[in-house]
């Protein structure tokens, strides 16, 4: 039977995984990639901030911007051997992505070295607001152009608000075109006519500047902007092409969120935004769902039965029996409380599904696991839960349930 996930992976060759921080974006991106590889695809997962154990499992040991093939033996060990697919992983490194962008657009090796060695650049390349988001898109663009993967899954940096991600190329383009940058450039050009030496000698200007940013920093900023302006056009064109990625028909967004109301609302807001802008929605993964495996009330009955057995056990003394009944009652209470949470999650999911309307079956709930997910086996288990509509999963579960 084809699942929703299989349908999505047949239709799309790039998935961009977005969502609030800490909900399981990196895990979902890796799990989607694992499923792609299990479907026989050559897959690359571009991760941003994998937890150490996940990074280790993928063979990413701190190397930035380098593809590594995930050892097929790990799939065999996990009991999910690959037939024809392959999984590659890469850890996105903002600084080296920025560096290679400079290398690509610099007019001469001297200009390149001047920028790469510039003090202001070294700070700006990692600290500029939005540069992480932008560089993630930039890397995706590059990999799509230059490599032959069947599927690329892009993890995105932790953001205050996921919607920010969509505006990263616009913000870069906006910055490059902004009036303030032009004024600054014009100033640099004037200064340039007299040469940087003029600025250096003009101690009054520097004294004033010093109070704000420090003379040295100011000079390296001027130098940076001066060298940067040669690349301005190339950079701007690239930003607009990178933005064009968002509307590629073979790309889709996978929004990851949790049942926490704030996170869920943010996920839905992202969905609304995609709809408004005509951008392709792939799935809404609702992670860490608390599921009530035990129907409300059923555990009370179990506890009662357990207590009866305990009471009639001849070897137990009075004290043992009262201890047992105390523990049993606590278990019953904890279960009841968990059932309340599970019910709350189920209600939130139902409401979110309703909000998605026609796209309701693209909401994929994933339960809260009892442990961290940091190896191929865990990712495969997580991945298998993706993209099966709840009705289908229920039907399958009851069909495969042991009889009698
Ligand atoms: N369904 C789940 N059940 C239990 N633990 C999970 C689940 N999903 C993710 N995790 C764990 O939560 C932590 C954060 O996940 P991660 O994918 O790094 O989040 P994000 O990238 O959104 O910040 C990881 O340790 C991961 O193993
Ligand atoms: Mg992450």
Beta carbons within 10 angstroms of residue 272's beta carbon: 12
What was the pLDDT predicted at 128? 61
Calculate how far, in angstroms, residue 49's C-alpha sits from the geometric centre of ligand 2: 5
Cα separation, 94 vs 126, in Å, equals 6
Q: Which CATH superfamily is domain 4-94+248-292+344-400 in?
A: P-loop containing nucleotide triphosphate hydrolases (3.40.50.300)
Q: 319-361: per-residue pLDDT in tens?
A: 888 888 888 888 888 888 888 899 999 999 999 999 999 999 9
Q: What are phi and psi of 290, to 5 degrees?
A: -85, 120
Calculate how far, in angstroms, residue 28's C-alpha sits from the geometric centre of ligand 2: 9
Can you name the residues that pair with 88 across neighbouring β-strands? 44, 69
Q: 100-145: per-residue pLDDT in tens?
A: 888 888 888 988 888 888 777 777 666 665 677 778 888 898 899 9
Beta carbons within 10 angstroms of residue 147's beta carbon: 12
| Spans of the chain, pLDDT less than 50 | 195, 198, 201, 393-394, 397-398, 401-404
What was the pLDDT predicted at 205? 52
Query: Is 366 in a helix, a strand, or coil?
Result: strand
Q: Are 33 and 44 in contact (CB under 8 A)?
A: yes
What was the pLDDT predicted at 166? 72
Q: Are strands 281-289 and 363-367 parallel, antiparallel or unpaired?
A: parallel
Closest ligand 1 atom to residue 29 Cα is 17
Of all protein residues, whose CA lies closest to atom 19 belonging to ligand 1? 24
Cα separation, 147 vs 269, in Å, equals 33
Can you name the residues that pair with 47 across neighbouring β-strands? 91
Closest ligand 1 atom to residue 27 Cα is 17
Cα separation, 353 vs 365, in Å, equals 10
What was the pLDDT predicted at 150? 97
Calculate how far, in angstroms, residue 38's C-alpha sits from the geometric centre of ligand 1: 21
- Cα 25–Cα 290–Cα 388 angle in degrees, nearest 5: 65
**Residue 378 Cβ < 6 Å to ligand 1:** no
What was the pLDDT predicted at 177? 64
């Amino acid at each position: 039977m084809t699942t929703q996930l299989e349908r999505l992976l047949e239709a799309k060759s790039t998935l961009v995984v977005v969502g609030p921080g800490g909900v399981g974006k990196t895990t979902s991106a890796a799990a989607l990639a694992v499923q792609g590889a299990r479907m026989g695809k050559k897959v690359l997962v571009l991760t941003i901030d994998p937890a150490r154990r996940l990074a280790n499992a993928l063979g990413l040991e701190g190397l930035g911007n380098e593809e590594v093939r995930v050892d097929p033996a790990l799939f065999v060990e996990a009991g999910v051997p690959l037939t024809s697919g392959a999984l590659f992983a890469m850890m996105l490194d903002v600084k080296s992505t920025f560096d290679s962008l400079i290398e690509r657009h610099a007019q001469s090796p001297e200009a390149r070295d001047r920028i790469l060695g510039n003090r202001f650049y070294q700070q700006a390349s990692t600290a500029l607001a939005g540069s992480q988001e932008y560089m993630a898109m930039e890397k995706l663009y590059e990999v799509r152009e230059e490599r032959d993967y069947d599927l690329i899954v892009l993890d995105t940096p932790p953001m205050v608000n996921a919607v920010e991600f969509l505006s990263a190329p616009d913000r870069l383009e906006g910055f490059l075109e902004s009036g303030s940058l032009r004024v600054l450039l014009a100033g640099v050009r004037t200064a340039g006519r007299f040469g940087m030496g003029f600025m250096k000698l003009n101690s009054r200007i520097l004294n004033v500047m010093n109070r704000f940013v420090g003379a040295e920093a100011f000079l390296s900023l001027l130098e940076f902007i001066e060298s940067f302006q040669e690349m301005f056009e190339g950079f701007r064109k690239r930003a607009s092409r990178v933005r064009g990625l968002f509307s590629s028909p073979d790309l889709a967004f996978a929004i990851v969120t949790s049942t926490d109301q704030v996170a869920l609302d943010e996920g839905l807001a992202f969905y609304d935004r995609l709809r408004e802008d005509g951008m392709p929605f792939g799935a809404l993964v609702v992670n860490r769902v608390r599921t009530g495996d035990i129907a409300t009330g059923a555990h009370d009955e179990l506890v009662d039965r357990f207590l009866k057995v305990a009471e009639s056990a001849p070897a137990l003394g009075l004290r043992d029996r009262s201890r047992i009944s105390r523990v049993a009652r606590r278990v019953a209470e904890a279960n009841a409380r968990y059932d309340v949470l599970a019910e709350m999650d189920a209600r939130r999911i139902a409401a979110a599904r309703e909000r998605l309307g026609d796209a309701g079956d693209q909401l994929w709930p994933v339960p809260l696991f009892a442990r961290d997910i940091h190896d191929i086996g865990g990712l495969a288990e997580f991945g298998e839960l993706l993209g099966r509509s709840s009705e289908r999963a229920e039907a399958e579960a009851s069909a495969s349930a042991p009889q009698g």
